[in-house]
Amino acid sequence: MEIEIDSVSSPSKVKEIDGLLADVGYKVKSSELHQVAQNIERLENVIVNSSSSDISQFASDTIHYDPSDIGNWVDNLLSEFDHTNSLPYDFSQLSDLAQDQHHHHHHHHHQNHQLKVVTTVEEDSAIKLIHMLMTCADSLQRGNIQLAGSLIEGMQGLLTNMNTNSGIGKVAGYFIDALNRRIFGQNNIIHIENDVLYHHYYEACPYLKFAHFTANQAILEAFNGHDCVHVIDFNLMHGLQWPALIQALALRPGGPPFLRLTGIGPPSHDDRDNLREIGLRLAELARSVNVRFAFRGVAAWRLEDVKPWMLQVSSKEAVAVNSIMQLHRLLGSEPDPNNPSAIETVLGWIRSLNPKIMTVVEQEANHNEDGFMDRFTEALHYYSTVFDSLEACPVEPDKAMAEIYLQREICNVVCCEGPARVERHEPLIKWRERLGKTGFRPLHLGSNAFKQASMLLTLFSAEGYCVEENQGSLTLGWHSRPLIAASAWQAVPETLRFDH
Amino acid sequence: MAGSNQPLNPNDSKMVVPLNMWVLISNFKLAYNLLRRPDGTFNRDLAEFLDRKVPANANPVDGVFSFDVIVDRETNLLTRIYRPVEGDENHVNIVDLEKPVTAEVLPVLVFFHGGSFAHSSANSAIYDTLCRRLVGICNAVVVSVNYRRAPENRYPCAYEDGWKALKWVSTRTWLQSKKDNKVHIYMVGDSSGGNIVHHVALKALDSEIQVLGNILLNPLFGGEERTESEKRLDGRYFVRVKDRDWYWRAFLPEGEDRDHHACNPFGPKGRSLEGVTFPKSLVVVAGLDLVQDWQLGYAKGLEKAGQNVKLLFLEQATIGFYLLPNNEHFSLVMDEIKQFVNFDCS
């Protein structure tokens, strides 16, 4: 398989992509149009000479990747077709998850970011409320604390006449509360452990299940053919992600590998060792399905405090690094020209582990803008949609706890600044850029992962959840708004990378 | 099966469209081929995976912003609304999304995307781009309807969704033109969307809702008969007759044939429009579209019934010519559309 060395994204390279096709969602280099057209013709001829039922079966069975890259998609189909029509086995056609590195050029992005809104409010009081919220945020940004404070009083008054059990009343309530805290610094925090809230959030809606499921799929495929595998989980919590992987590995054709799991998490207070307890439970499960298993807990308050030697990675292992909503927490470090930032440091040592795969799941939102108004507006839209989707959940106390879990996020986005603000969500577009620059290339999630994620969703009675393909990554959203994005990465080998 | 095994000659279609358009439409043709199953079922999962979608964007891009509204919670009927920015804003507040229209007369285009009743969505990239262009060209608000698709949802679901959306639009006070406090509604659709425009306009006849005009771009009509254009153009410009047949079988009620009035509105089972106040129509027909005889027949049917219809016949145009702006048909049609909806603007 050839690796394309495409190191620099200079302006002249940007112009290479056909602009009109880019406007409608496709990436094709102008210089390659003829070649792509020829391959389309070849594929058409192939299809025309097959029966319709063969074609649809073939289409179902093949795994498709990144349809926006028409050239690659067609090539893939051509080689798959050759394959299934029993040509002599050709090692150069080995299907491999790793794809060539693609730079996605946004030559058409005039705007700073996208503001995705689903469903707007109808009632007068709701409109008034939102207006006041925006004005309050604006006055805060300008430093007019007095006005902000009086607006908060006004909004709290409005709320007493509104339905705060659902819809805009509920979400607005949380944002008003967050603004209140930002101004007056109240400290009536609800004392429920974060991992407990997380567990209920996991139960109440499909976002975390989707994250775990999609990441596990990718990890499973990456571990194909390896006898010693090591998963590094950046946030173990209750280890909810791992029973499914353990079971899938147990059922693997050829038998399970030796699985090591390293779980990172905050140190436990009191005398308990939470990490170890979770590890023991997972070990029990692994034993019951005959998977050789070893667990190690690494206690650290912050991811940037973890050093690679703590993970004890051996060169014989296939390593998977799994980050579910953790990378964004590293974006808040103070910029220091002499020292690499937290995110650079961590991504650096991840690369040094040479992982077979790094699975990254992040909120699909732009909550890391410096400007308070921008952040506030984005967050209001985002969490309104999330809460809207939560209303479909009938189960208590999952739903109530999930709301508290989200409220904490909202508070962090709205009230905190500097290193205290850890909920620095950034959208897929930005993560692609950042990971591309730090020496990672995307491993595309294909139509099989998409199909299975969609099937997972049908287990939920609420219609409205939507899986979408986004240039090799998958997103899960509510109606037309993606809310969480799952992607997979591999480190580009050092020798093939040009630093710039 | 014998006829379908003839190699398609790509040279015909390559001569008449720019290369990037050929790649775009051929890519769709290829993908769609993979999705249709001979037993009439549809690989919906793969279809959704392959479709390029874009989210709404309340931040203006080239003077247009968009947001999604759920018009009917029970069926999750979604519409995407595109509005022109007023003045110099580059930031739109949530409050401003449904800010009342300030123009004396503002056309509201209710848009039905194409896809032969089975493909695409309101948030498909090709249609999001087209709707944005329409906003700028017509200085209008565009409401793109995400109607339910076949084969999972056959006739009359798409029409019912269209009708619901039309009613919703007509009752939005914030879309009313200042001149008469009414919503100035036009309906626009391409391919199956054009067909939906006709049938929703029919539904509106027995109501208070006034539709000022219908715009049909390469609308999908058909019938049992094999017309001359279908025989002459079969397989030559991206489309085969058997593909069209598949989509009708997927959309029409089981057991019905293509003379059903949904497919053939002026056919043996159609409804006469004589003496009826039907909206004026702009019918755009591509000269290399194999169903043009049906489309021309539609325009004639309107004319015979004494209705106001303008036919735009583009000799060298293929299906999908309006998806990219790099051809003369595009500018011609957009100009016509602009004039059509601005007719009553001073």
Please tell me which residue, A123 or B127, carries the higher pLDDT value. Answer: B127
Residue B191 is among the residues annotated as catalytic for this protein: yes
Q: Which chain B residues are closer than 8 Å to A175 by Cβ?
A: none
> Is B7 in contact with A45 (Cβ distance < 8 A)?
yes
> Is A118 in contact with B58 (Cβ distance < 8 A)?
no
A124 → chain B, closest CA residue = B95
- pLDDT of residue A101 exceeding 60, the answer is no
Burial (0-12, 13-18, 19+ Cβ within 10 Å), A13: middle
B127 → chain A, closest CA residue = A24
Q: Which chain B residues are closer than 8 Å to A55 by Cβ?
A: 33-34
> Is B46 in contact with A447 (Cβ distance < 8 A)?
yes
Q: Residue B55 is nearest to which of A33, A114, A127, comparing CB atoms?
A: A114
Q: How far is A307 from chain B (nearest CA, A)?
A: 39
Residue A108, pLDDT score: 33
User: Do A297 and A275 touch, CB atoms closer than 8 A?
Assistant: yes
CA angle B258, B259, B260 (to 5 degrees): 90
- pLDDT of residue A15 exceeding 80, the answer is no
Longest Cα pair distance anywhere in chain B, in angstroms?
Answer: 61
B3 → chain A, closest CA residue = A48
Average pLDDT over residues A70-88: 80
- Which of A374, A480, A481 to mutate to test binding with chain B, by most B CBs within 10 Å of its CB? A480
Residue A185, pLDDT score: 79
> Is A381 in contact with B58 (Cβ distance < 8 A)?
yes
- Which of A27, A29, A52 to mutate to test binding with chain B, by most B CBs within 10 Å of its CB? A52
A464 → chain B, closest CA residue = B76
Residue B340, pLDDT score: 97
Q: Residue B50 is nearest to which of A20, A64, A463, comparing CB atoms?
A: A64
Q: Residue B59 is nearest to which of A37, A113, A481, comparing CB atoms?
A: A113
Q: How far is A263 from chain B (nearest CA, A)?
A: 33
In this structure, what token pair is assigned to residue B239? 């489309």
**Residues contacting A356, CB < 8 A, separation 6+:** A222, A223, A226, A318, A319, A320, A490
**From the centroid of its chain, how far is CA A421?**
19
> Is A117 in contact with B58 (Cβ distance < 8 A)?
yes
Do β-strands A258-265 and B280-286 pair in parallel, antiparallel, or remain unpaired? unpaired
A63 → chain B, closest CA residue = B46
Nearest to A71 by CA among A25, A27, A17, A21: A27
d(CA A484, CA A182): 27
Half-sphere exposure at residue A336, Cβ-oriented, CA atoms within 13 angstroms: 11
**Residues contacting A250, CB < 8 A, separation 6+:** A256, A289, A290, A291
User: How many beta-carbon pairs under 8 angstroms link A with B?
Assistant: 187
- pLDDT of residue A496 exceeding 80, the answer is no
- Which of A32, A136, A479, A481 to mutate to test binding with chain B, by most B CBs within 10 Å of its CB? A479
User: Do B116 and B220 touch, CB atoms closer than 8 A?
Assistant: yes
**Residues contacting A341, CB < 8 A, separation 6+:** A330, A333, A335
Supply the DSSP symbol for A118: B
Residue B8, pLDDT score: 52
Q: Residue B94 is nearest to which of A33, A56, A117, comparing CB atoms?
A: A117
> Is B95 in contact with A20 (Cβ distance < 8 A)?
no
> Is A117 in contact with B129 (Cβ distance < 8 A)?
no
- Which of B14, B15, B30 to mutate to test binding with chain A, by most A CBs within 10 Å of its CB? B30
E-assigned strand segments in A153-303: 228-233, 258-265, 293-299
Q: In this structure, what is the dihedral angle of CA atoms B168, A132, A187, A267, given to the nearest 10 degrees?
A: 50
Q: Which chain B residues are closer than 8 Å to A121 by Cβ?
A: 94
Q: Is the ipTM of this complex over 0.85?
A: yes
Q: Mean pLDDT highest for which of A384-388, A412-416, B244-248?
A: B244-248
d(CA A233, CA A246): 14
SS (H, E, C) chain B: CCHHHCCCCHHHHHHHCCHHHHHHHHHHHHHHHHHECCCCCECHHHHHHHCCECCCCCCCECCEEEEEEEEECCCCEEEEEEEECCCCCCCCCHHHHCCCCCCCCCEEEEEECCCCCCCCCCCEHHHHHHHHHHHHHHCCEEEEECCCCCCCCCCCHHHHHHHHHHHHHHCCHHHCECCCCECEEEEEEECHHHHHHHHHHHHHHCCCCCEEEEEEECCCCCCCCCCHHHHHHCCCCCCCHHHHHHHHHHHCCCCCCCCCCCCCCCCCCCCCCCCCCCCEEEEEEECCCCCHHHHHHHHHHHHHCCCCEEEEEECCCCCCHHHCCCCHHHHHHHHHHHHHHCCCCC
Phi, psi of A198 (to 5 degrees): -60, -45
Phi, psi of A389 (to 5 degrees): -70, -30
A49 → chain B, closest CA residue = B5
Helix (H, G, I), strand (E, B) or coil at A357: strand
Please state, as a whole number, how many other Cβ atoms lie within 10 Å of the Cβ of residue A235: 18
Q: Which chain A residues are closer than 8 Å to B20 by Cβ?
A: 18, 20-21, 28, 30, 33
Annotated catalytic residue, options B170, B177, B191, B281: B191
Supply the DSSP symbol for A429: H
A448 → chain B, closest CA residue = B46
User: pLDDT 10s per residue in chain B (346 long)?
Assistant: 334 444 455 578 888 999 999 999 999 999 999 999 999 999 999 999 999 999 999 989 999 999 999 999 888 999 999 999 987 666 677 778 888 999 999 999 999 999 999 999 999 999 999 999 999 999 999 999 999 999 999 999 999 999 999 999 999 999 999 999 999 999 999 999 999 999 999 999 999 999 999 999 999 999 999 999 999 999 999 999 999 999 999 999 999 999 999 999 999 999 899 999 999 999 999 999 999 999 999 999 999 999 999 999 999 999 999 999 999 999 999 999 999 998 765 3
Burial (0-12, 13-18, 19+ Cβ within 10 Å), A63: middle
Please tell me which residue, B131 or A495, carries the higher pLDDT value. Answer: B131
Question: Is the bond leading into A308 cis (omega within 30 degrees of zero)?
Answer: no
**Residues contacting A151, CB < 8 A, separation 6+:** A132, A135, A136, A139
Half-sphere exposure at residue A319, Cβ-oriented, CA atoms within 13 angstroms: 21
Residue A6, pLDDT score: 39
Q: Which chain B residues are closer than 8 Å to A34 by Cβ?
A: 19
pLDDT category, A88, cuts 50, 70, 90? very low
- pLDDT of residue A171 exceeding 50, the answer is yes
Phi, psi of B106 (to 5 degrees): -125, 120
Residue B289 is among the residues annotated as catalytic for this protein: yes
Burial (0-12, 13-18, 19+ Cβ within 10 Å), B273: buried
Average pLDDT over residues A397-409: 91
- Which of A16, A17, A30, A41 to mutate to test binding with chain B, by most B CBs within 10 Å of its CB? A41
Q: How far is B259 from chain A (nearest CA, A)?
A: 26
Q: How far is B80 from chain A (nearest CA, A)?
A: 9
Q: Which chain A residues are closer than 8 Å to B37 by Cβ?
A: 52-53, 56
Residue A104, pLDDT score: 32
Burial (0-12, 13-18, 19+ Cβ within 10 Å), A345: middle
- Percent of chain A topping pLDDT 70: 86
Q: How far is A368 from chain B (nearest CA, A)?
A: 17
Q: Residue B69 is nearest to which of A74, A112, A119, comparing CB atoms?
A: A119
Q: Which chain A residues are closer than 8 Å to B14 by Cβ?
A: 37
Q: Mean pLDDT highest for which of A78-82, A112-116, A368-372, B265-269?
A: B265-269
- pLDDT of residue A90 exceeding 50, the answer is no
Residue A7, pLDDT score: 40
d(CA A223, CA A246): 12
In this structure, what token pair is assigned to residue A42? 């070849």
Nearest to B107 by CA among B289, B327, B279, B322: B279
Q: Residue B24 is nearest to which of A24, A130, A469, comparing CB atoms?
A: A24
User: Do B317 and B83 touch, CB atoms closer than 8 A?
Assistant: no
B47 → chain A, closest CA residue = A447
- pLDDT of residue A287 exceeding 90, the answer is yes
Q: How far is B6 from chain A (nearest CA, A)?
A: 7
Phi, psi of A171 (to 5 degrees): -60, -45
Nearest to A17 by CA among A113, A112, A104, A99: A104
Q: How far is A214 from chain B (nearest CA, A)?
A: 15
pLDDT category, A457, cuts 50, 70, 90? confident
pLDDT category, A5, cuts 50, 70, 90? very low
| Helix or strand run (H / E) with residue A349 | helix A342-352
> Is B48 in contact with A116 (Cβ distance < 8 A)?
no
